Amino acid sequence: MEYKFNNRELSWLSFNRRVLQEAQDRNVPLLSRLQFLGIYSNNQDEFSKVRIANLMRLTRPKRKERPQQLLGGYTPTTLLTEINRQIDASQEFFTETYNDILHEMEQRGIFVVDEQHLTETQRTFCADYFASVVSPRLVPLILRKSTPIPFLPDDMAYLGVKMSCDKGTERYAVIRIPVSKACPRFVVLPPTEEGRSELIFVDDIIRLMIDDIFFMFNYDHITVHTFKITRDAELTIDDDVSKSLFERVADGVSNRRYGSPVRMVYDRTMPSDLLGMLAEKFGLRDPETLYPGDRYHQMKDLMKFPKVRPDLLTVNPKPLRHPHIEPFRSILRVVRKEDLFFNYPYHSFQHLIDFLREAAIDPRVESIAITLYRTAEHSKIINALINAAKNGKQVSALVELKARFDEEQNIEHTDLLQREGVRVIHTIEELKVHSKLILVERHEGNGLRGYAYIGTGNFNEDTATIYSDFGLLTAHKVIVEDVRNVFRFLSNSHKPFRYKHLLVSPYYMRQSFMELIDREIRNARKGRRAYIHAKCNSLTDEKIIERLYRASEAGVEVRLIVRGACCLRPGETGIGEQIQAISIVDKYLEHARMFLFCNDGNEVAYIGSADWMARNLDRRVEVCTPILDKQIHRQLRDVFDIQWQDTVKARDLSDQEHNPYRHRAEADAPVIRSQTATYDYYAMRNTTNK
């Protein structure tokens, strides 16, 4: 039978439209809706840098060859056309949503004004602000038709300037909009009346003062228009064997800043001659690489819109203390007796930091090993590792240099850790280490006892407040030995080990998941109850999807919670009728992965770092662990069931074009917002365990 798939890129665009839905949802606090617009815009930018850039490379083969067929039946060329169509349609919704939010903000006394609508007091304020804050950071560039344009990095917006005289002479210039912590994108203006907040884009302060910038030129007319470029974000690592991987990644990150432009979004009122000059300078000759837009670009800055009205922002409840952990008491002592399960941000991430801090000063702890993928800029995790090294512990950190868009920070952290005496390990170039592991070895009795942490999310205290993730802290001897073997694999010969409990990619995880699915298929064919309940970020692996289709054909109940791209078609006649799939987009980013299999009534459960994607199963080091503790297993099952019953933020993935909300089956059924219900579930457990 021929199975049908959704295209990965188009399914991802569908996910980002679900983010846009959050900005459109009037039940979301008003300024939080503005932040969702920023998240949507940031997502689109990264999509252009990575996915569109990759497709553009595929459309330019070096030799004549048959067009490559992509998942979903597209060629790179036809897929680019469809992507551009969908992006254009989504941008219209973005603009409409943004204008609606601005209107509602005005009804609540918050006004975003431009340079044409300032009082004299505000004009004076802007002139002073320009002189003291903005002007020192400006570097205007004069464009000449006969010379190349100076290099302009992406991740920022620019102003294209045209100066013209009635006599017919013209000049062109470019100004980078200098956004930073010291010069934010949005500037709060002096209020014109009590209870009224007014803000202005820093772009418009520059527009206001444009004559002061170009005072030395003679012109009769001057116009200013925003544009933004996107560059190919492919990280190219050279094959110079005389350099370490660290040096080659550092060089690659430096070179990536100079990636080829793949897209330019511009103010649609920009004069055609200015547009043509910029397009020529950037080498953007294909009309599909030029996107007309509105007055403002780089709208990801909406994520940092000033908190002028905290009452119009989402207020998240304070993370809960784990019921089995007492303040200023040993966490290691608790883990010796029982496994600990964390579900961030419902549980406090501080527990994990405290665990490392305790290990750093415990005189019996001999060593700490950890994998680091994305960490906070000012990381408490890294501080704890440095403290451990200063206390004489053997500390090893596998720092993944190839974590996309975090390479530069990871290079800086590598340098810091090495200076402080931490052994930093870099894996082989072909394998990206995405697993989330900690191993603490402690002298107890006549030998060493290990304590292992296996998680689904990064060791990052900043994102742990907004990403929903799982973590297991255990002293289970077999699991700990498996974790030891993962670190041996990473730090020594890269020789594969056999694992008794853990599912580890790239060698065994795919095979293990296939066997777990096949067992459900066999049980269904024998007339036994069979189900697969899974939650992940993305489901794009063709072989896994085919196996799930076969499970559906055999009568296995398949329930999927997939936040992002889902190439499987749930409910598809003949192949996916036993499959249901939802996506939950809410105030927390659903990042946890769990996999539940009926196993003829003796359910098995796994959590881990891997999605069901080819890259996770075949080209990364990922780890999933079974949940052996019955109480924790029950919690995991309860959390899945709560999310599956969501009637507020769940979308039905059988229609990814429209992303319909999944409403209550019956009018008298309870309204369930799973993220709120999950917090209440853990809060109730805390009360019960007192």
| Measured CA angle at 224 (ends 218, 230), to 5 deg | 130
CA 49 to CA 27: how far, in whole Å?
32
CA 407 to CA 482: how far, in whole Å?
28
Judge contact between 484 and 358, C-beta under 8 A.
no
Residues, the chain: 690
* Token couple for 166: 């009635």
Q: Which letter does DSSP use for residue 303 in this model?
A: G
CA 16 to CA 38: how far, in whole Å?
11
CA 92 to CA 94: how far, in whole Å?
5
Rg (CA), the chain: 27
Q: Which letter does DSSP use for residue 320 in this model?
A: B
Which phi and psi (to 5°) does residue 594 adopt?
Answer: -145, 150
Judge contact between 323 and 690, C-beta under 8 A.
yes
Quote the longest CA-to-CA distance of the chain.
93
Judge contact between 231 and 259, C-beta under 8 A.
yes
Left if phi > 0, otherwise alpha if psi is -120 to 50, otherwise beta: which for 499? beta
| Angstrom distances, CA of residue 296 to CA of 46, 137, 205, 226, 515 | 18, 20, 13, 6, 52
Q: Give the up-direction half-sphere exposure of residue 210: CA atoms within 13 A in the CB hemisphere.
A: 21
Judge contact between 453 and 437, C-beta under 8 A.
yes
3-class secondary structure, 157: strand
CA 193 to CA 187: how far, in whole Å?
17
CA 196 to CA 210: how far, in whole Å?
28
Query: b/e per residue, 328-340, with b = 16+ CB within 10 A?
Result: eeebbebbeeebb
225 is catalytic: no
Q: Which of 468, 463, 437 is nearest to 450 (CA)?
A: 437
CA 399 to CA 228: how far, in whole Å?
33
Which phi and psi (to 5°) does residue 439 adopt?
Answer: -130, 120
Which phi and psi (to 5°) does residue 130 adopt?
Answer: -60, -45
CA 358 to CA 332: how far, in whole Å?
8
CA 537 to CA 361: how far, in whole Å?
37
Q: Which residue in 322, 413, 434, 533 is the catalytic one?
A: 434
Of the chain, the end-to-end C-alpha distance in Å amounts to: 56
Q: Which of 291, 309, 365 is nearest to 335 (CA)?
A: 365
Beta strands at 197-201 and 110-113: parallel, antiparallel or unpaired? parallel
CA 546 to CA 535: how far, in whole Å?
17
Judge contact between 358 and 331, C-beta under 8 A.
yes
Which phi and psi (to 5°) does residue 304 adopt?
Answer: -110, 30
Give every strand in the sheet of 197-201, ordered side by side: 110-113, 197-201, 186-188
Q: Give the up-direction half-sphere exposure of residue 127: CA atoms within 13 A in the CB hemisphere.
A: 9
Residues carrying an active site annotation: 434
